[in-house]
């Protein structure tokens, strides 16, 4: 899944996630044509 958001965003809502499921996110920012990636963010839904 890829979501494009405004550069000044400080939150995003993820929908349609399955219960008791582990997910992993990576945030990528692009500035001046260069990509910056976060470390993986791992979480589990209730």
pLDDT tens, 13-22? 999 999 999 9
- How many CA atoms, within 13 angstroms, populate the side-chain half-sphere of residue 28? 8
pLDDT tens, 1-42? 888 999 899 999 999 999 999 999 999 999 999 999 999 999
Structural domain total, the chain: 1
Expressed as residue numbers, the domain containing 40 is 1-46
């Amino acid at each position: 899944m890829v979501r494009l958001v405004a550069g000044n965003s400080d939150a995003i809502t993820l929908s349609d996630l399955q219960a008791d499921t582990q997910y992993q996110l990576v945030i990528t920012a692009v500035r001046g044509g260069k990509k910056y990636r976060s470390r993986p963010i791992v979480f589990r839904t209730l």
